[in-house]
Amino acid sequence: MSPTSYRTAPPRDDKILEKLGGVLINYIEKKKDNTKIHLVNEEIIDSKESLNDLEIKLQSYGFFRIHQSYIVPFKKIEEIKPDNYMKSYNLKLKDTDEILSLSRNKYKILKDMLFD
């Protein structure tokens, strides 16, 4: 497997989101002041966009904010398990080994969306 590659997205470039359209994105994370878009080919795009802005722009592509630090596409959700130690939940994504934190409040919303 090749090492993960990085590149920087142009600031506020909506065209990159249209091109990605949710098809190539595994998940988006915020670490400190950095937003990282993790692609299915293991490439990571650094973005200056806030998670709030990305959340709004990607809703129409089937994305959901699972935590203050993560946005994921619905179609990539494989499994949700309780994390008894943290009294929250962990979310497993399809086609990746990534396990992301799912907040209790977002779990309730997600559960209602998936099972209503």
Domains and CATH numbers, the chain: 6-115 (2.40.50.1020)
Separation between Cα atoms, residue 111 and residue 115, nearest integer Å: 6
Half-sphere exposure of 88 (CA within 13 A, CB side): 13
The predicted-structure confidence for 11-70, as pLDDT tens digits, reads as follows 445 556 655 655 688 999 999 889 999 988 888 889 888 999 999 988 888 899 999 999
The structure's pTM equals: 0.81
Separation between Cα atoms, residue 47 and residue 108, nearest integer Å: 29
Q: What is the residue whose two structure tokens read 């993790």?
A: 38
Residue 2: pLDDT band (50, 70, 90) is very low
Note the pLDDT of residue 90. Answer: 95
